[in-house]
């Protein structure tokens, strides 16, 4: 396929580029050491021979990424499943989801789509702030990632957003790819999931016709992701205290890499993906004469409502709510054993926080809010549904 040159600096690799990329990875000593840790006992030459047999990015994902995700699901979750009954498996979609884990939200999605009868995975929107190492840049592009330019400002930021919007439309319409993008820049540290309107405005830069027609063109599907345990909850709580103490706080140089490793290798309990209905039919029901900003705000609220309505709630969510509010409202939904398990887990996570002066009350409340907020948003969405 002829891909316009304007996308060369953000798109995933094309098949013709793969042999050269494999040559470069074969010479990268850092990449070799990482592969040895992830795939112990397998000769590096055999791995590269298997890679060179891949003639497309989907081939590469099926040869390597699929089995790796299965291993991570087996080792670090108590089961990962997906409900995708509302979607037509012959179509391709733009999945916009809440964001829990830097790497796995999209990586698990690709595997789950294949497991549920889709013939293709997703192209992944990833911020350039996460691409600090050369081999990482290559590996994510092999896994169908396209770059979101977050390090630009002013007019360059607008131009980058327009380019990204055009690329998403090209990928969905011409390449027939699925897309995954988070509903906001970065993860919601408190799990209070809200769609940034700027994400939707970016999507509306591509395509043709009215704003409504442009959004319909890419088949947006809200995707609700529910982790029973968030391995990075203690890291998020630490960052919240540091931001409270220092308004000028900036992340440490290696902070994102630590979060990625912790998220990948940490225990997650049960994980559930719920694909909501494509919003096209709902869009058709909205007035045609809505001003652009009003329509974008309405779409953002609809996506939030869909994500909130389709959370899978766990005992942790109910326990955290009751502890925060000092009530017994949901005690019938969890056992004493589940309560003890969560409280022991919470103490263990707080003990991992390495701050000179940890504020244990603040840190405890912060983590409790991370688990209570999905329930709070679910309850608010349920009230709207009943109106």
Q: In this predicted model, what pLDDT tens digit does every residue of 132-180 receive, in sequence order? A: 788 989 999 999 999 999 989 999 999 999 999 999 999 999 999 999 9
Give the domains, in start order, of the chain with CATH numbers. Answer: 5-10+58-231+266-312 (3.40.1130.10), 316-386 (no CATH)
Q: What is the pLDDT of residue 37?
A: 85
What pLDDT sits at residue 129?
Answer: 82
Q: How confident is the model at residue 1 (pLDDT cuts 50, 70, 90)?
A: confident
**CA dist., res. 159 & res. 81, Å (int):** 38
- DSSP string over 5-31: GGGTTTSPP-GGGHHHHHHHHHT-HHH
User: What count of Cα atoms within 13 Å lies in the side-chain half-sphere of residue 287?
Assistant: 7
Residue 263 or residue 187, greater confidence: 263
Average pLDDT score over the chain:
95
Is the whole-model pTM more than 0.85?
yes
pLDDT at 374 over 80: yes
Of all residues in the chain, what percent are helix, strand and coil, respectively (each to 5)?
A: 55, 10, 35
Per cent of the chain over pLDDT 90 is 87
CB 170 within 8 A of CB 4: yes
Question: DSSP character for 332?
Answer: G
For residue 328, pLDDT over 80 is answered with yes
* pLDDT band at 257; cut points 50, 70, 90: confident
Q: What is the pLDDT of residue 387?
A: 66
Q: Containing H/E element for 309?
A: helix 292-309
pLDDT higher at 102 or 158: 158
Tell whether the model's pLDDT for residue 221 goes beyond 70. yes
pLDDT over 90 at 293, yes or no: yes
């Amino acid at each position: 396929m002829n891909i316009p040159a304007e996308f060369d600096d953000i798109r995933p690799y094309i098949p013709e580029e793969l042999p050269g990329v494999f040559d470069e990875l074969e010479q990268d000593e850092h990449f070799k050491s990482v592969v040895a840790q992830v795939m112990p006992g397998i000769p590096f030459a055999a791995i590269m021979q298997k890679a060179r047999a891949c003639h497309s990015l989907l081939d590469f994902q099926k040869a390597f990424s699929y089995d790796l995700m299965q291993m991570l699901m087996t080792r670090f979750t108590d089961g990962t499943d997906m409900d995708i009954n509302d979607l037509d498996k012959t179509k391709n979609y733009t999945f916009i989801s809440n964001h829990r884990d830097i790497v796995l939200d999209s990586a698990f999605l690709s595997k789950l789509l294949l497991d549920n009868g889709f013939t293709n995975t997703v192209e992944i929107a990833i911020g350039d702030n996460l691409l600090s190492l050369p081999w990482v840049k290559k590996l994510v592009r092999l896994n169908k990632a396209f770059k979101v330019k977050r390090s630009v400002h002013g007019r360059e930021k607008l131009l980058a957003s327009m380019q990204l919007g055009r690329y998403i439309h090209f990928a969905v319409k011409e390449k027939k790819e699925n897309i995954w993008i988070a509903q906001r820049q970065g993860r919601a540290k408190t799990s209070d999931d809200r769609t940034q309107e700027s994400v939707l405005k970016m999507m509306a830069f591509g395509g043709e016709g009215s704003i409504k027609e442009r959004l319909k063109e890419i088949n947006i599907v809200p995707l609700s992701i529910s982790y029973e345990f968030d391995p990075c909850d203690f890291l998020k709580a630490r960052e919240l205290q540091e931001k409270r103490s220092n308004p000028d706080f900036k992340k440490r140089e290696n902070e994102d890499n630590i979060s990625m490793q912790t998220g990948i290798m940490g225990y997650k309990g049960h994980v559930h993906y719920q694909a909501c209905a494509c919003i096209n039919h709902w869009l058709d029901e909205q007035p045609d004469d809505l001003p652009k900003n009003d329509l974008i705000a309405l779409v953002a609220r609809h996506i939030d409502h869909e994500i909130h309505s389709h959370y899978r709630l766990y005992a942790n969510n109910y326990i955290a709510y009751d502890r925060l509010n000092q009530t017994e409202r949901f005690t019938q939904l969890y056992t004493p054993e589940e309560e003890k398990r969560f409280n022991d887990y919470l103490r263990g996570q707080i003990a991992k926080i390495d701050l000179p002066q940890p504020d244990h009350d603040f840190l405890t409340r912060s983590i409790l809010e991370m688990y209570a907020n999905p329930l709070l948003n679910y309850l608010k969405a349920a009230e709207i549904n009943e109106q």
